[in-house]
Amino acid sequence: MKKILILLCAMLLSMGAFGVASASVITFNPLNDTQTSGSPPFSLTIVGSGFTEGAGGSIGGGMDVSWDPTILSLNSATGIFPGDMGFGSNGIIDNVAGTLTGLSVTSFFGTASAAFNIASLSFNAIGVGLTNTGITISLIDVWTDQLGGAITQPNAIGGTVTVNGGGVIPIPGTALLFGSGLLGIVAIGRKKRS
């Protein structure tokens, strides 16, 4: 009985040391963006907030990202996690499915701030419409901090990107016809004067 009581106390103590926090959030900045189809590449930054503040703060974690591949094409994903970027992965880009899988960032000593940038995503707007940009954090994408060993399952908040039509505005045929007729009249007038 005494061994069971000691084992139970050890389990409760370890659960306290490795508690689960839930106030943290991972989302996009800007959360809702508007672009023009065919414009130069644009960036969305993945940001975190509400994590442990102070020395030994968040040491990182992972996620997957999704979008509509008929509207956006991902050029690159670059980890910009603050502090001593220990190791991580820029993930695997699949523009056919509209996914970035296995994006992760890790720091050996943690971040000092409760809010920080995680990664920068460079997109091209290739279609027109509204696409949801989603973040998925699975159970294997554990986010932790160094001091308390706290494990957190951040709330993932997706955003949207609206892509408007752009590009060259066609000149109506009548304007082109009118312009060429005007040039013809000017040319005839010059010819008669000389």
- Per cent of the chain over pLDDT 70 is 73
Q: Does residue 132 register a pLDDT over 90? A: yes
This prediction's pTM: 0.71
pLDDT in tens, 63-87: 999 999 999 999 999 888 765 555 6
Q: Could you tell me the fold of the domain covering 21-168?
A: Immunoglobulin-like (2.60.40)
**Burial of 119 from C-beta contacts in 10 A (0-12 / 13-18 / 19+):** buried
Cβ atoms of residues 102 and 89 within 8 Å = yes
Sign of CA dihedral 9, 11, 16, 21: negative
The residue extents of the domains of the chain are 21-168
